[in-house]
A = this chain, B = another copy of it.
């Protein structure tokens, strides 16, 4: 049965690449108002294409910004229902003179297609559509129920997506969500990221005297705002980098033995990482390796700080103000609001003498985890392996993807991040490209995945 869609994809490869080029030619830059019509044109191109391949209920939902494209096919009866997310908007193209070929004139060189959006994310959206086409053309139907939601504002922070998802939560009901907007760890090595860290940010402002003071005249008798801030900031960690905020680690889920094994199987070369970063040694919480420290342990990082005189040379000033920006990376099951409150409590407890301290909250985002042993995760691993011929790596990521947290929060669905990009494909930069190897293998992987999913009971 697999052979049929494989053959179909092979036979139609040139035609598909020409269609992809058409899609990539539309300069759907969501951040630039002069491209508003182009963004709309890309939505309409999708609408037309989705109808052509056999999707139903194809709709363009207008928002206060750029539209959201929806389509479904729900005739697989009691089979699982998959919600697929992608985006059709792209990043700006500056600096334009660094592009070897124009960003909106797609060009294939060395088995890579070069264009803005080639990997992020038009290429990957297009693959889902062509996987659907291949299955329809070779099976006459889809093995699972599929819902597609493709937005046009991802590159500007998806301002209207959460509202839309909230409003249409019934329409978007599914057994799990597949997001194809990421990548695999390296060429020929498929991987699934099943967990992300969350975020909790704040700014601390310390205020001492009304104005900066002469360090001779007042030094020694007035609290220096920089000293106060330093004392406060130093209280957040112990000497091994462990966060000392009371209760900070209380809700942190420990790794399962299976996860530990999966991470060790990655054979991460820490010495190579150290060398690439150019640091004398890696540094972090004792008892955890690099992957654990960045993926499954929460952090509290100073992102920036400032006080007093920063110019060249010396200025004997006693600074009256000092500022630090802090973000915590959170892991399941930490709650951003709860962590924020713990931080505020810590700051109050450690408030230095002789100054006032104020705290301003910044962005928050929940951490995300689809259980490693979730059938949709394991099936995705099998689908990759079938096509790439090597075991699928399982990873988490230390970063955040805000829309994942939004979907998780609103729909409460397990999420599978099934991406096909490669780390060096210049997304957001000049000469963005997409490896055709992953274009071809990716469509096959998707088809295998739906067939595998159709054998599972997910409800």
Contact = CB atoms under 8 A, between A and B. Distances in A.
Given A210-B277, A223-B283, A304-B308, 17 more contacts: A209-B277, A209-B278, A210-B278, A215-B327, A216-B398, A220-B284, A221-B290, A222-B282, A227-B241, A230-B230, A230-B305, A302-B308, A304-B310, A304-B317, A305-B308, A310-B323, A310-B325
A99 B394 CA distance: 73
Contacts of A112: none
Nearest to A197: B216
Copies of the protein in its oligomer: 2
Secondary structure class of chain A's binding surface, majority of residues? mixed
A397 B307 CA distance: 25
11 contacts: A197-B216, A216-B400, A217-B398, A220-B297, A222-B277, A227-B302, A302-B319, A303-B318, A304-B315, A304-B317, A316-B327
A86 interface: no
Contact of A303 (B215, B280, B400): B215
Given A314-B362, A329-B219, A277 B213 contact: yes
A284 to B, nearest CB: 5
A276 B292 CA distance: 52
A199 interface: yes
A363 interface: yes
Interface of A: 197, 199, 201, 208-210, 213-224, 226-227, 230-231, 233-234, 237, 239, 241, 273, 277-285, 290, 293-294, 297-299, 301-310, 313-319, 322-325, 327, 329, 352-356, 362-363, 397-400
A451 to B, nearest CB: 34
Contacts of A223: 241, 279, 283
A216 B314 CA distance: 35
